[in-house]
Amino acid sequence: MNDTQLVMYDEDYRKILAVIQQLVRDANAKGIFVVDRNGQLIGEAGEMRGIDTTSLASLTAGCIAATGGLAKIVGEEEFPIHFHQGQRDNLHITLVAHRIILVVVFDDRSSLGLVRLRVKKAGSELAKIFEHIQKRSEQANAGGGGDAPFSEITDEDIDNLFSM
Amino acid sequence: MSFINYSSREINCKIVYYGPGLCGKTTNLQFIYNKTNPDLKGKMISLATETERTLFFDFLPLALGQIRGFKTRFHLYTVPGQVFYDASRKLILKGVDGVVFVADSQIERMEANLESLDNLKLNLAEQGYELDKTPYIVQYNKRDLPNAAPLDEIRKLLNPTGVPDFEACATVGTGVFETLKAVARAVLSDLKQMSK
């Protein structure tokens, strides 16, 4: 399983952001969100500022998890592409590299065909970035955690969190 | 598994409240939600049936403050407790950093507690985790009820390894924050150990 701790550095984030900002333009999307399979938001782009992205991330992960469970029941490994059609806005959800979820929100300025086409390219670019992150995390784990910020924390630091 | 984001200087951890049906997992989260400063919490999501039984999960994002310049964020989830929702429970345990087992103190629920605890061990093992190696706290809920089992007895049954445990009455909040703090502390200590 891809269950190593996910550690993302600024350079990773900038690469991810560049891919999804390009995807917003290429797919005429309203908003794009990259979510970890465990429900954490990794990055966002587009014009949908101010929406509740934490809930969006958690529910998207729940949705992927539930349909993944359904897939296994009917003998599929995964259902990697989901499409939800609304009256104004639509959601296109893709599972990338078995770990990352790419959510594209689009309206009638775009089309499902265009989104599918552009997501394919962006998905493979994101897959490469996350494979790199994954490999680095695995190496760090094997080497005993690397330079994670938590290696230096003290019990006092933890206590201070609860002094509120 | 926790997500460390150097770009936004955030650490995100996932905590799951587990336990038998109607033991008070959702009530724990509701109490935390109601008593937390609005700046520190996000929206609470409950995917429940019409009769307010948890169908898939409850979710509450919580910010605890900074540690070494990193914002610590905890994502609290509950599982649906009813036996037949096992497939959903397995999904929610994926990527968990810490577990709270909420036990129902009523004598007649002891079997349900034991069954749920066995189920937790089994489902964790399926994900490749061991309960003994996972940050883990036990909460004995509903201590205010007249038919609550004696603490020694319930402890012997449900906490043989002696992990930190708390008596609670989640409807009025007794023990709720103590439990949350203990699991958050256990998760952070575990991260520290892993980093060494």
Transcribe chain A into DSSP letters: ---SPEEE-HHHHHHHHHHHHHHHHHTT-SEEEEEETTS-EEEEEES-TTS-HHHHHHHHHHHHHHHHHHHHHTT-S---EEEEE-SS-EEEEEEETTTEEEEEEE-TTS-HHHHHHHHHHHHHHHHHHHHHHHHHHHHHHHTTSTT-GGGG--HHHHHHHT--
| Residue A2 confidence (pLDDT) | 42
| Residue A1 confidence (pLDDT) | 35
**CA distances from residue B44 to B14, B75, B120 in whole angstroms, order as listed:** 15, 10, 24
Looking at chain B, list the stretches that DSSP marks H as alpha helix, in order from N- to C-terminal side. Answer: 25-35, 86-93, 110-126, 151-158, 176-195
Q: How far B19 CA lies from chain A's nearest CA (Å)?
A: 19
CB B132 within 8 A of CB B161: yes
User: Other CB atoms closer than 10 Å to residue B102's CB: what's the count?
Assistant: 27
Closest CA to B168 of B17, B14, B16, B55: B17
pLDDT in tens, A78-128: 999 999 999 999 999 999 988 899 999 999 999 999 999 999 999 999 999
* ipTM summary value: 0.82
Q: Which residue of B has its CA nearest to A14?
A: B7
Pairing between strand B3-5 and A6-8?
A: parallel
Across chain B, which has 196 residues, the per-10-residue mean pLDDT values are 88 96 97 93 90 91 90 95 92 95 98 98 94 97 97 97 98 97 93 78
| Residue A148 confidence (pLDDT) | 61
Which residues in chain A are contacts of B184 at CB distance < 8 A? 161-162
Indicate the residue of B12, B59, B91 with minimum beta-carbon distance to A65. Answer: B91
What is the longest distance spanned by two Cα atoms in chain B? 52
Which residues in chain A are contacts of B128 at CB distance < 8 A? 1, 3
CA–CA distance, B29 with B31 (Å, rounded to integer): 5
Q: How far A112 CA lies from chain B's nearest CA (Å)?
A: 28
Angle between helices B151-158 and B110-126 (to 10 degrees): 30
Indicate the residue of B56, B185, B192 with minimum beta-carbon distance to A150. Answer: B192
CB contact under 8 A, B127 and A38: no
Closest CA to B62 of B52, B71, B49, B51: B71
pLDDT in tens, B57-97: 999 999 988 888 899 999 999 999 999 899 999 999 999 99
Which residues in chain B are contacts of A52 at CB distance < 8 A? 42-43
Query: Any idea how long chain B is?
Result: 196
| Residue B88 confidence (pLDDT) | 92
Q: Which residue of B has its CA nearest to A159?
A: B185
Indicate the residue of A13, A37, A144 with minimum beta-carbon distance to B7. Answer: A13
CB B7 within 8 A of CB A13: yes
| Residue A163 confidence (pLDDT) | 66
CB contact under 8 A, B194 and A69: no
CB B137 within 8 A of CB B182: yes
Which residues in chain B are contacts of A137 at CB distance < 8 A? none
Q: How far A88 CA lies from chain B's nearest CA (Å)?
A: 24
Indicate the residue of A1, A38, A55 with minimum beta-carbon distance to B43. Answer: A55
CA–CA distance, A64 with A78 (Å, rounded to integer): 9
Closest CA to B138 of B115, B167, B116: B167
Instruction: Tell me which amino acid residue A23 is.
Output: L
Q: Which residue of B has its CA nearest to A8?
A: B5
pLDDT tier at A38 (50, 70, 90 boundaries)?
Answer: confident
Tell whether the torsion through CA atoms of B19, B24, B26 and B28 is positive or negative.
Answer: negative
Name the phi and psi angles at A109, rounded to 5.
Answer: -75, -15
